[in-house]
């Protein structure tokens, strides 16, 4: 059984500790950014979303093991894009064919 040697377990624990440390640093940066006086509300929201996106990437990528499941993630993403494009095509196609006996502006 691969993946269960003491060296591999130690390497995984070290990776999780690094990610945990990065998330702690990200939290400190978030608190520090809340004290900044940015020129507009849009800049404040943009900065908050940027910090949250970076922290979310680390949580999803490492703690949820999505970095190791690239083939499955791309497969799900591809099928989602396929169905979204199909539904948008059907919606645009149906816009020119309103139901009968209805008021259509």
Model pLDDT for residues 3-12, shown as the tens digit of each residue? 688 888 888 8
Residues 55, 23 contacting (CB under 8 angstroms): yes
Taking the alpha carbons at both ends of the chain, their separation in whole angstroms is 67
22/18 Cα distance (integer angstroms): 6
Q: Tell me, what's the pLDDT at 1?
A: 47
pLDDT for the residue numbered 95: 83
Q: Which stretches in the chain have pLDDT values below 50?
A: 1
Q: How far is CA 7 from the centre of its chain?
A: 31
Predicted pLDDT of residue 104: 63
Q: What is residue 71's predicted lDDT score, i.e. its pLDDT?
A: 87
């Amino acid at each position: 059984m691969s993946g269960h040697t003491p060296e591999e377990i130690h390497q995984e624990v070290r990776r999780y500790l690094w990610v945990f440390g990065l998330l702690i640093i990200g939290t400190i940066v978030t608190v520090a950014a809340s004290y900044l006086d940015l020129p507009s509300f849009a800049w404040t929201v943009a900065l908050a979303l940027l910090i949250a996106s970076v922290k979310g990437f680390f949580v999803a990528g490492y703690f949820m093991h999505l970095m190791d499941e690239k083939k499955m993630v791309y497969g799900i993403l591809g099928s989602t894009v396929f169905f979204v494009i199909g539904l948008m095509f059907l919606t645009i196609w149906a816009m020119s064919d309103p139901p009968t006996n209805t008021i259509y502006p």
